[in-house]
Amino acid sequence: KLTNSHAHGGSHSSGSGSTLLGYIGIDTIIEQMRKKTMKTGFDFNIMVVGHSGLGKSTLVNTLFKSQVSRKSAGWARDDKIPKTVDIKAVSHVLEEGGVKMKLTVVDTPGFGDQINNDNCWEPISKYINEQYEKFLKEEVNITRKKRIPDTRVHCCLYFISPTGHSLRQLDVEFMKRLSHSVNIIPVIAKADTMTIEERQDFKQRVRKELEMGGIEFYPQKEFDEDMEDKSDNDKIREAMPFAVVGSDKEYQVNGKRVLGRKTAWGIVEVENPNHCEFAQLRDFLIRSHLQDLKEVTHNIHYETYRAKRLNENGAVLALLCPPSPTNEIYLMFPRPFYVSFCIYNIVCVHRPAY
């Protein structure tokens, strides 16, 4: 049965459908969207944060089954630890099933590796905000690009050391300060160093500490759109942080080639749910929530940044309307009126109404 919702006499009918007299092709919109996406592709930007030795690069390479982090960027393992947090971004175009994705991996070497790690999150916070600023400046241009390049960080994988005890103060401070500007997904690295029982106890302890610290990680409860989303996301939240193992090496196990880590007592299979939770993380990050990560970044984190910038006194002038002797509107009116005028035009129509 085909139904539609249509208007009578200028009012919209809601809650009831009308049977169509024949097929008109409304359902093809999904196929149209699929074709357009396959032609244009899409961007996904992932940041990895954690101190050295936790296997951040290896895990990202394992997630995307490709050399997308560090090794492919020409960074050697014996590189000296930076004295301050450095930001390394490398992009690759991946293609699967005719769909192209420009993947950018943002690494943060030097984070948490110093004797004094005070404020070591500031370069990371600055980088995240700089990407919002780039997008905002493109968005408010009088002549805008048809497709604005998206370098905004859609996801931040935060690597927790598998101590089995508690979170470090640095872990708590980082997630508390950045959870409102980026989607943070905490993961327990190198989970094969703990027994199953130790892993479960540590996961519960981490969740409790995050709750006590008022730290919300992705997917946040307030962003659940309906009961189905809430049900699915509740299961994910109860399983987080995922205890993972990464490896880009293959081994023969029961006649099959599997990704794993070789130990004295056997092979830890990366994609075996009985060995670690890598498969759950991959399915969550890529197969079920990748698009939602992008939408939350745009609709929540970026909008929050955008509203703050446009409300800052004089921020709009710096973006679009710098006062100058050649700016006729600036010369015609007092500065407070001019600022209000610019804010009105940008907020309402995204361009000055000259």
| Residues 157 and 49 sit within 8 Å (Cβ to Cβ) | yes
Encoded tokens for 189 = 């690295």
How far is residue 44's CA from residue 76's CA, in Å, rounded to a whole number? 25
**What phi and psi values does residue 167 have, to the nearest 5 degrees?**
-70, 150
Q: Which CATH superfamily is domain 29-314 in?
A: P-loop containing nucleotide triphosphate hydrolases (3.40.50.300)
Answer whether residue 326 shows pLDDT above 80. Answer: no
- pLDDT per position as a tens digit, 206-254: 999 999 999 989 999 988 888 999 999 999 999 999 999 999 889 998 8
- pLDDT per position as a tens digit, 88-139: 999 999 999 888 999 999 999 989 888 778 889 999 999 999 999 999 999 9
Q: How confident is the model at residue 200 (pLDDT cuts 50, 70, 90)?
A: very high
| Residues 193 and 247 sit within 8 Å (Cβ to Cβ) | no
Q: How confident is the model at residue 173 (pLDDT cuts 50, 70, 90)?
A: very high
How far is residue 197's CA from residue 284's CA, in Å, rounded to a whole number? 23
Q: How confident is the model at residue 265 (pLDDT cuts 50, 70, 90)?
A: confident
DSSP assignments along 4-50, one per residue: E--EETTEE--S--EE-SS---GGGHHHHHHHHHHHH-EEEEEEEES
245 to 111, 174, 253, 259, 279: CA distances (angstroms)? 20, 23, 17, 10, 10
| 273 prior amide bond cis, ω within 30 | no
The alpha carbon of 10 is separated from its chain's Cα centroid by a whole number of angstroms, namely 42
| Residues 333 and 341 sit within 8 Å (Cβ to Cβ) | yes
Q: How confident is the model at residue 73 (pLDDT cuts 50, 70, 90)?
A: very low
Question: Average pLDDT, stretch 318-346?
Answer: 50
End-to-end CA distance of the chain: 52
User: Lowest-pLDDT range, 106-115, 214-223, 310-319, 342-351?
Assistant: 342-351
Listed residue (158, 179, 177) closest to 108, CA to CA: 158
Answer whether residue 34 shows pLDDT above 90. Answer: no
| Residues 157 and 183 sit within 8 Å (Cβ to Cβ) | no
Q: How confident is the model at residue 38 (pLDDT cuts 50, 70, 90)?
A: confident
- pLDDT per position as a tens digit, 84-97: 788 999 999 999 98
User: Lowest-pLDDT range, 60-64, 302-306, 322-326?
Assistant: 322-326
Q: How confident is the model at residue 317 (pLDDT cuts 50, 70, 90)?
A: low
**Beta strands 99-107 and 42-49: pairing type?**
parallel
Answer whether residue 7 shows pLDDT above 90. Answer: no
How far is residue 188's CA from residue 191's CA, in Å, rounded to a whole number? 6
| Residues 82 and 98 sit within 8 Å (Cβ to Cβ) | no
pLDDT for 324 equals 54
Q: How confident is the model at residue 329 (pLDDT cuts 50, 70, 90)?
A: very low
Query: Does the model's pTM come out above 0.85?
Result: no
Eight-state DSSP code of residue 195: -
Q: How confident is the model at residue 338 (pLDDT cuts 50, 70, 90)?
A: very low
Answer whether residue 315 shows pLDDT above 60. Answer: no
